Chains A and B, each alone.
Chain A
Amino acid sequence: MAVSSEKYNVIDLKTGQLDRRIFSDNEIYQEELENIFGRAWLMIGHESLVPKVNDYFQTYMGEDPVILTRDNKGKLHAFMNMCRHRGNRIVRADVGNAKNFMCSYHGWTYSNEGDLEYVPGEEEAYYGALDRDRFHLVEARLDTYAGIVFATWDSGAPSLEEYLGDARWALDVSFNRLDCGTEAIGPVKWIEPINWKTAVDNCSDNYHVPTTHLSAILAMGRHLGLPRLTHEQQFESPNKHLFINGHSMTLRFLERPDQARQTHGVTQENRALFDEYYKATLPEAERRLGKVRAGQLHLGNHSIFPNGVLGFRLAHPRGPLETEFWHFVVLEKDMPADLKRALRMGAGNFNGVAGLFEQDDMDNWRGVTRSTLTPMARKYTQDLSMGIGQAGPDPDFPGTVAERYTSENNQRNFYRRWEEFMNARDWGDIPIERSTAEYEGTAKMNG
């Protein structure tokens, strides 16, 4: 094998060995902010977070604060939350409604279309020489998929549709099922003492569930009537794990089209109500997604490159050793209130900062991050050798499909995708897998 001349060669796909410097080296981290978070389409919000004109929601792209706003004509914008004068942050609240954003330092004032509309002393102090047009708020490219808002700083990036590729074929199963669309509630925010990549990589890790989450599986299984999840079940599972353009998608097979999806919040008491709901909405879902996606599949764990975790949840990088996690739940808009309540409670009980599953992840992930800090420990690579050679194309599913549901194929590919972004001079060097899937039904990118 020829020695690669590329700067980053951190994952050996033949042996599954990963160079662990990428979890704690600050120079690498700074390059990630530019080459990954400065280039990729990033999930930043949901249309339902800014329902009315002039609403805004403060979000992040990497470490850069961003204002997601719906201007007075109803158009969405993503602006870097930074005054063009001296760089002060102009919006400090999480949410609000404003026609204009005024910097609290010197009073430069922008419209919510990003135009610099007013500068104190424009004639007197600047002698009329200030070219206000030069100082439009820095604006990202913005697009939406099924109500979820994405943005990128890179004008050379492909369209969002191309960026998602056939990951959308799988995402539609959960996020694009009904005409009514979805709404996002949250986020619960907290600081995890981990590198952001571990939270994303873990979305592909079906291997850890029976060990890390055993206490939750036991306690919740007893009360909710769930079967005990074991390693053996996971190894034999026919469920599919897809890798497409950096995105990882788990698809689970349903026993019958109208059954309650195995979602957090479904209990013995309310299961019949969920069955009823899925039965009632099946014809509409079949019209939108076709019979296979509407009635045979359920979207399980998944991640969207680089930092979208398990649905519309975000792992914002905060230096190599910290991640600010944003926990949202996406609900179908017209779902009956009692079912929404059940899913809300389930979402908080399984995942999130207090979730019985997620709280047990933290010290493991921290251990993985911290052990890369010393020269002695760094001599040893991280092992991602599970299922090497046991993945490839599949006649029924797009992307690269792992032979088993429990595999480290997607993690290896995730770090390979990381290398592709880190080594690229621009988007011309980053490969995009073209869409090959057949999109049965009427559902489109925008819902």
Chain B
Amino acid sequence: MISREEVLHVARLARLALSEEEVEPMARELSAVLDHVATIGELDLADVAPTSHVIEVTGRLRPDEPRPSWPREQILAAAPDANDDGFLVPSPQA
């Protein structure tokens, strides 16, 4: 069973705030899924290579040709807060 402290630690890593009521059910549900996932621990996989890509492709290169990116104002228009130069966010050290 995943502990309350583990849940809060992982939530911190995931940049996810959890309300007090969310912590206990999260611990329970994660534990249930991880118990099921643990069945792959029983397999002997010592000599098996991990899949990195399902369809075999060899390193594919393309010419490095400069092309225009999106207009800045179009991208900034989708932001919750922006000025003419960039995205506006709260101070990291308020």
Same complex origin of A and B? no
